[in-house]
Amino acid sequence: MLAVAAFATGVGPRPAGAAWDVLYDVVLYHVAWLAAGTACWLTARRAPREALAWRALATTLVAGAAGNVARIIETGQAGTTPAPVADTCVAVAYASLYVALFVLIRARVPRFLPSMWLDGVVGVLGTTAVGTGFLLGPYLTAGGHVSVAQLAWPGADVLLLSLLVGVSAILGVHLDRTLLCVGGAVALFCVADATLFVLSAEGRYADGGPLELLWQAGILLAALAARSTTGDPQPRDGQEGVRITWRLVALPLAGTLAALAVLAAGYGDDLPDSAGWLAVGCVLAALTRTAVTFREVRFFAVVRQEARTDELTGLPNRRALLERARVVVAGATTGSPAALLLLDLDGFKEVNDSLGHGAGDQLLCQVGPRLEPALRPGEVLARLGGDEFAVLLPDVDLDAAAERAGIVHDLLRQPFEVDGIRLHVGVSIGVSTAPVPADDVQELLRCADVAMYAAKTERTGVHVYVPDPNSGSGERLRTMEELRTALVADQLDVHLQPQVAMDDGRVVGVEALLRWHHPERGLLSPGHVLPAAEQAGLMRPLTDTVLERSLDAVAQWWDEHRVPVSVNLSAANVADIDLPGKVAAKLARRGLPAAALTLELVEDTLMADPERGRSVLGELRRLGVRTSIDDYGTGYSSLAYLRRLPADELKLDRSLTADVDTDERAAAIVRHTVALAHDLGLSLVAEGVEDVATARRLAALGCDVAQGYAVARPMPVEDLLRWLAGERSGLLRSV
């Protein structure tokens, strides 16, 4: 910029003398060229993908400066006068500039579509036709007035400008800052060269005039391009889709109009034949581009349709439903509401499992034809995925939507015929409306989903969503998100409930029970936490946290009281083959023996992968960690699992111990369960021991350990330490 500013002081009046001419026309004029060339060469280091382009552009600038100096030395002046050394330098500059443009384009367009090539061809032919017809035409037909050598460089400029227009057409006039600066520099060079050619041909060119500033401005743009490049251009893949934008047709249209202008101007005139043929070629390329555009638009329409259609059933898919629902919900008012029915087929999994997925697919394909007669114009039936469907009902209120849901329910309850077999499947339908209670599409789907699950749980077939602050659905979602924070914010803790021996009342263990110190809702029990954790997929990290807290607690009393802690395992933990190693590491880190820990599990935790579960539990027992079967008596396969599970104790569920002192049938179950446990070498823990009468009865029936309010309530670690050190209740000692 300093060099350009210094040179600009000599444009127009300047001090007379050959020395001043050399200073301005040789030194100051070319300092900017060399400085910009240096900047481009250095840019190659931080733009490795475009390194060749920047080195080529640097070569263009240095070779151009050398050509200018050589022409002055050879001919005594600038201009277009033939000079062998200067012309060689200029040829190198043009060749390097073509290389630079090609590499910069290639870095941004890794793959060209046929339409992009045609855009470039139209731009190139149209620009070349104009340049040949209007710029070079008068001199091509001037009867030798201008030499071929003098026409070479303007011709190269026309081709270069045509290439620039073609690039812009290929990119849809979507040039980034770097390419825009380089393109601007090239355009200024071409305009300056063309003006120089015309002035030289007419004998009116003089050194040091305002024309020189055009080249200097181009040099500044080249330097700015080098400075502004990030080295990481964003490629525009030709496969990114049909480019729908006004820039797509701007330059091809301009090229076509320019070609038509050349043809019109050359009719009966003396324009060169080459300009006419170039114009004809441009028009033909434009017609070909039109045909390609038609094919692209048709392909785009097909792709758009396929992207919004379920491949299996041919119904609209989730994307199509959401697009339509956004329009419908946006226009819904209290006087003209909209409704959504969310359908889930009952028993569809059994069809897949028993008859195969092919039969399931046939069943899904019959849902659309079955419900089509019940749809009115403007209503949309879509398949959301799996066995879930949705019906969007514009301009339908809640009562009418519930009535329509009943019709849909009755239609789908009729038998389907699949592979010659008549099948009956149920359906659960959730109904929600907008704008009340749902004011957007996502809320409409959520409300319908909540209602659908309520219909499935209550087996009512159809359930209408009505906002209920006590329903807990929104509370559960909020709890799930807050629990993620609680896991890392040290809000989770354990309370410990003692277990005592029935015979002498000594403390033989404690069970760790999760507690959540919620910042707003206070202390929350497992009943509030575990359902949300299971639904959010947080059971494994939650159990790991409880295990850490429990071992921290037992480490505080183990040296004085050899009382182990029991921790419940989730199904995710039992299936973790690394669990034994993790447990061993946690114990070793605290200096605790394996006897300090008992791990509890319910039968259902082994249902997903029984073999892996038994292997994991076997490894834990080999470490010396005791295992316990919790909630015994509530599952469906207790005896079968009892025979194979590596366990040390059974915990009798409170549902069997609650009425044992008044219900002889319950007492008989406990008596025989005790005998079975003892015969298998297991101890039996009775949960839910709430009073002395129950404790005495359980002791008489042979239970080994009691846990419940009759012993102590769950308490924080500090309270348990005081409880262990102090005089405890003699309630069970009296048993």
Q: Which helix (H) or strand (E) holds 493?
A: strand 492-501
pLDDT at 255: 64
Confidence at 153, pLDDT banded by 50, 70, 90: low
Give residue 82's region: left, alpha or beta (phi > 0; psi -120 to 50).
beta
Distance CA 18, CA 4 (A): 20
Separation of CA 124 from chain center: 40
| The two three-digit tokens of residue 384, written as one number | 């959301």
pLDDT at 80: 56
Residue 36, SS3?
A: helix
The owner of tokens 């003209």 is: 336
Distance CA 252, CA 271 (A): 23
Three-state SS across 51-86?
HHHHHHHHHHHHHHHHHHHHHHHHHCCCCCCCCHHH
- The partner residues of 621 in beta bridges, in order of sequence, read none
Please name the CATH architecture into which domain 318-471 falls.
2-Layer Sandwich (3.30)
Lowest mean pLDDT among 264-268, 271-275, 569-573: 264-268
Average pLDDT estimate for 544-571: 91
Residue 363 has pLDDT above 80, yes or no: yes
Residue 513, SS3?
A: strand
Residue 383 has pLDDT above 50, yes or no: yes
pLDDT at 166: 58
Residue 452 has pLDDT above 80, yes or no: yes
Residue 155 has pLDDT above 70, yes or no: no
Residue 279 has pLDDT above 60, yes or no: yes
Residue 35, SS3?
A: helix
| The two three-digit tokens of residue 486, written as one number | 């609680």
pLDDT at 400: 92
Residue 241 has pLDDT above 50, yes or no: no
Q: In terms of pLDDT, which residue wins out, 263 or 110?
A: 263
Rg (CA), the chain: 43
Nearest to 428 by CA among 396, 388, 393: 388
Distance CA 494, CA 61 (A): 75
Handedness of CA 599, 603, 606, 610 (dihedral sign): positive
Cis peptide bond N-terminal to 154, omega within 30: no
Residues 6+ apart with CB under 8 A from 394: 328, 332, 338, 378, 379
pLDDT at 159: 63
% of residues, the chain, pLDDT over 90: 24
Residue 677 has pLDDT above 50, yes or no: yes
Domain boundaries, the chain: 2-109+171-240, 114-145+245-307, 318-471, 479-725
| The two three-digit tokens of residue 552, written as one number | 């921290």
C-beta of residue 649 within 8 angstroms of C-beta of residue 601: no
pLDDT at 198: 74
Nearest to 721 by CA among 527, 405, 498: 498
| The two three-digit tokens of residue 149, written as one number | 């050598």
Residues 6+ apart with CB under 8 A from 410: none
Main-chain phi, psi angles of 488, to 5 degrees: -110, -5
Interhelix angle for 348-355 vs 357-371, to 10°? 140
- The partner residues of 600 in beta bridges, in order of sequence, read 568, 628
Query: What does DSSP assign to residue 703?
Result: -
Lowest mean pLDDT among 322-331, 478-487, 603-612, 695-704: 603-612
Distance CA 399, CA 393 (A): 12
pLDDT per position as a tens digit, 572-629 = 777 778 888 999 999 999 999 999 999 988 766 665 556 777 788 888 888 999 988 8
pLDDT at 469: 45
Q: In terms of pLDDT, which residue wins out, 513 or 105?
A: 513
Average pLDDT estimate for 72-96: 75
C-beta of residue 565 within 8 angstroms of C-beta of residue 602: no
Average pLDDT, rounded, for the chain: 80
CATH match for 479-725 among 3.40.190.290, 3.20.20.450, 3.50.40.10, 3.40.50.300 = 3.20.20.450
Q: In terms of pLDDT, which residue wins out, 186 or 717?
A: 717
Residue 236, SS3?
A: coil
pLDDT at 237: 45
Query: What does DSSP assign to residue 727?
Result: P
The CA-CA-CA angle for residues 74, 79, 80, to 5°, reads 85
Average pLDDT estimate for 43-58: 87
pLDDT per position as a tens digit, 113-138 = 666 656 666 666 666 666 666 666 66
Residue 240 has pLDDT above 50, yes or no: no
pTM for the model stands at 0.43
pLDDT at 504: 85
Q: Which helix (H) or strand (E) holds 670?
A: helix 664-679
pLDDT at 253: 67
Query: What does DSSP assign to residue 316?
Result: B
C-beta of residue 516 within 8 angstroms of C-beta of residue 523: yes
Nearest to 164 by CA among 211, 128, 135, 213: 128
C-beta of residue 636 within 8 angstroms of C-beta of residue 598: no
